[in-house]
Structure 1
């Protein structure tokens, strides 16, 4: 086995598979045993096109090996999130010693991850409130829920562990009322309704979610605010917090969010992100139980789109 170290986070392996057994072996099982690594780590490399056999990219972990095959494998080790404080202009719409409420702009990730290890909203929050570094999950401290990168609107952040635990439980028990505004192509009929369809990772495209029979429960309510030409401005309420839930559900009924290239299609209207804004939230304060109610307007870019159509 030849090993070539590219850097501290990445290794390349190149070797020839040989066996006297008559039954073919799956490539993921072989690599997992040979390199003593979990199969899900091999799957991540496959998703990144980092596994080849005889020069061809392998796209399925179930690929069967034959004696004499040449395997080229690049193991990608996930980078740990960079929680270094960064100066970022953040609009705080409310703050006390227990919680923060932020008006998140479109175009910024909420917290660091594999593909975005830094320059996130959380890096800016930690610059302004360093104590949050020790709250909740150490990889995304203080974060009790998320908004997609291109979604704007209200985000709650916990400033201490009691608030973190209480808010987390409130989200799980659906005690937090969340509303969104979105624009979709077409006129919805009926003008209001409920979408109750389970969601899970797309069976083929890993960057997407999809309606899957045995997926996790997902419940979304919509109501038409008004129709503008051949578009519908909707009020959305979600009762579960699945990844891309609103976008998946609206796409499933034939009305994807305007500007959503992942679940819809390119549109003729100039919009740099999808038209989805978290405009309202109602919940009991996690410490003193006071009723907290916040509502914000659409940002300028989305107002401009409404004027264009």
Structure 2
């Protein structure tokens, strides 16, 4: 079993519900994870188990005892990786479109995690099926991902991500024309009320903010640069569909899977740039990746169609 670390907080003023207070604290755990731990009795207030709705008071001592995590039993697979950077603490990989990030029902092998396990040791704090994974991108989204090789690095990278200090820049080809050159989409996202496999903009969803800038216009299509301020599931795809500009190739959120008779295996969305802090040296690391060949082919077709 992997070791776990007890985290203790002392409340310095009345702040509200326990789950909300912990969700706003600078902890390397998601709000949903903390809520589940409260329910499981792994979060104590003054040595007593409480409900998520417990209202913390000044002087309360909150103890978080993360569950012990089993060392991964996943199979390491010799799958080629596009490694952009590697040191003793982390890797940055360029994930191809079509590759699932970690094992899940229906995808027990052939994932990025299976490939990473063959290459290097990974952090263990994120559960048996997601070792090393600090953040994810969708199966049919390509691009840069940071991966933690040890628990200390994972904590540091996750905390920086939660504090919105990690920069994640995406390129997307979307349907339609933009009059503005740049803007911000600020709309809460949650589970779709009718289709549980999808996300949607809903009134009581979690805060979600996406900044966009027009890179190139093609008449009927637009190439955007997008910066994530938050990281909700399918955030870019949901936000762009919400404003009437679905990502090209994203059949889930409103676009066909063909353009100029080119069959698209998924959305033309690429995690192009990643900026993070090296956990030990505190050096800022910046990485950039080229657009995948198919993405670039579609752009060339659009330019030729306009006589550019």
* TM-score of the pair, normalised by structure 2: 0.72
1:301 equivalent in alignment to 2:291: no
**Structure 2 residue aligned with 1:100:** 91
Contact 1:182 1:275 in 2 (8 A): yes
* C-alpha separation in 2, matches of 1:240 and 1:133: 23
* C-alpha separation in 2, matches of 1:233 and 1:93: 24
- How far off is 1:272 after superposition? 2.2
User: CA deviation digits over 1:146-189, x for unaligned, max 9?
Assistant: 01000000000000110000111111111101100000111112
**Structure 2 residue aligned with 1:114:** 105
**Structure 1 residue aligned with 2:116:** 125
SS of 1:155's equivalent in the other structure is strand
Q: 1:290 aligns with which of 283, 293, 302?
A: 283
**Structure 1 residue aligned with 2:192:** 202
Contact 2:90 2:146 in 1 (8 A): yes
* C-alpha separation in 2, matches of 1:230 and 1:178: 26
**Structure 2 residue aligned with 1:54:** none
Larger radius of gyration: 1
**Structure 2 residue aligned with 1:192:** 182
- How far off is 1:132 after superposition? 1.4
* C-alpha separation in 2, matches of 1:301 and 1:175: 31
* C-alpha separation in 2, matches of 1:83 and 1:136: 14
* C-alpha separation in 2, matches of 1:166 and 1:133: 12
* C-alpha separation in 1, matches of 2:290 and 2:123: 30
Gaps of 5+ in 1: 1-80
- How far off is 1:128 after superposition? 0.9
- How far off is 1:133 after superposition? 6.1
Q: 2:214 aligns with which of 199, 216, 224?
A: 224
Mapping of residues 154-303 of structure 1, within 5 Å: 154-266=144-256, 268-269=258-259, 270=262, 271-303=264-296
**Structure 2 residue aligned with 1:49:** none
SS of 1:162's equivalent in the other structure is helix
Q: Runs of 4 or more off by more than 3 Å in structure 1? A: 133-136
- How far off is 1:136 after superposition? 3.9
Contact 2:123 2:132 in 1 (8 A): yes
* C-alpha separation in 1, matches of 2:192 and 2:105: 19
* C-alpha separation in 1, matches of 2:73 and 2:224: 37
SS of 1:103's equivalent in the other structure is strand
Contact 2:214 2:222 in 1 (8 A): yes
Gaps of 5+ in 2: 1-71, 303-308
* Change over 3 Å in CA distance of 1:267–1:113 after alignment to 2: closer
Mapping of residues 49-128 of structure 1, within 5 Å: 83-128=74-119
- How far off is 1:134 after superposition? 3.6
Q: CA RMSD in A?
A: 1.4
Contact 1:279 1:296 in 2 (8 A): yes
* C-alpha separation in 1, matches of 2:78 and 2:134: 22
* TM-score of the pair, normalised by structure 1: 0.71
